[in-house]
A = this chain, B = another copy of it.
Amino acid sequence: MQLFYSQQIENNVAVLNEEETRHCIKVLRKNKGDTIDFIDGKGNFYKGTIFDYNKKNCWLQIIEQQEEKKRNYKIHLAIAPTKNISRIEWMLEKCIEMGLNSIHFLDCFHSERKHIKLERLEKIALSATKQSLKASLPSIHNIVSFNDFINHFKNDNIEKLICWVDEEKHQLINQSFKNKEILLLIGPEGGFSEIEVKTALTKGFKA
C-alpha cells in the first residue's frame, strides 16, 4: 500500500505539499477522481479522492478516517549520534518500525559527532513511517548538550534508564558467562510453529 502524507487537513479536505503532489501526480500518474491513502503523522489514516491539483498541491476530499491502534505505553530514546551517520539513519528506521514516540540527540563528553542534519533525518523518518504503514511520526529533536537534556527533560512520571554498567555488575555478567556455551534459536518472520516450539522445549530448549 502506498501512503501519502498531509500536514494540512481541514473540513474534510486535505492538501498535499509539493513533494507529495509530485509523487502522486507525476510519478504515480494519479488523476482527478482517484482515491489514495494518506496519513497526518499524528496517528490517523485517511482515504481521500483527488478533486483538484496543480504543480504545487493536490486537494483531496476525505471519504474515510481511521485512528491508528495506540499502544498503551510510550518509549523515548535519547542517544549520542555515532560518528558514522548511516548507523544513526539505520537506527532511526528501526526505531520507527518499533513505534518509538520521540528521539533526542545528545552531545556528550565523549561524543565524536556534535551536529546532525535534522531535515534529512525527518525525511528518513517520514519515509520509514509510510513504509511501515504507521500513521504517527515520532518527534525528532535536534542535538543538545547532555546537561541541557538531563536538566530540562520535562516528564517526571517516566521510567528513566541509562545504558551503563558499573564495574561490579560488569564482573557479575562476565562471571555468569564464564565457560558457558550458548545456543540461540531464532525463527522465521512468521515465528516458530506450535510443533516446532514443543519439539524444542522437549529437547531441553528454554523459552
Contacts and interface: CB of A to CB of B under 8 A. Distances in A.
A27 interface: no
Contacts of A124: none
B72 A162 contact: no
Interface string A123-154: 00000000000000000000000110011010
Interface residues of A, number: 66
Contact of A186 (B147, B157, B163): B163
Q: How many copies does the complex hold?
A: 2
Given A146-B196, A196-B108, A196-B109, A164 B191 contact: yes
A192 B110 contact: yes
A163 B189 contact: no
Interface in A142-195: 146-147, 150-151, 153, 155, 157-166, 169, 174, 177-193, 195
A97 to B, nearest CB: 12
25 contacts: A73-B177, A73-B178, A73-B181, A74-B180, A74-B182, A75-B181, A75-B182, A76-B183, A77-B184, A82-B188, A106-B187, A108-B188, A108-B196, A110-B187, A110-B189, A110-B191, A110-B193, A112-B188, A157-B181, A158-B183, A160-B183, A161-B207, A162-B200, A164-B191, A164-B192
Interface of A: 71-83, 106, 108-113, 146-147, 150-151, 153, 155, 157-166, 169, 174, 177-193, 195-197, 199-201, 203-207
